[in-house]
Amino acid sequence: MQKVIKSVKGDIVNLQKIGIFYNKENQKANYLALTIGKTLKHKGLDSVVLTTNEYDSDITFAIVLGGDGTILRTARFYAPFEVPILGINLGRLGFLSQAKSNQVDEAIDCILSGKFLIEDRIMLSARNGEMNALNDFVIKGDGFSRTSRLYVHINDNIVCDYLADGIIISTPTGSTAYTLSAGGPILFPTLDAMVVVPICPHTMNARPIVIPSCEVIKVTSSQNKPLLKISADGQNTLNLDANEDIEIKKSQYSAKLLLLNLEKNSFYSVLKEKLHWGLSWKG
Catalytic center residues: 68
Do 58 and 18 form a contact (C-beta atoms < 8 A)?
Answer: no
| Rounded (10°) CA dihedral 123, 130, 137, 211 | -50
- The two counts, helices (H) then strands (E), for the chain are 5, 19
- Please name which of 172, 153, 150 lies closest in space to residue 161, comparing C-alpha atoms: 150
- For residue 41, report the phi and psi dihedrals to the nearest 5 degrees: -60, -40
Asked whether the beta carbons of 194 and 204 are under 8 A apart, the reply is: no
List the one residue out of 52, 107, 77 whose CA is nearest residue 256: 77
At 27 the three-state DSSP class reads helix
In whole angstroms, give the CA distance from residue 46 to residue 129.
33
Residue 115, amino acid: K
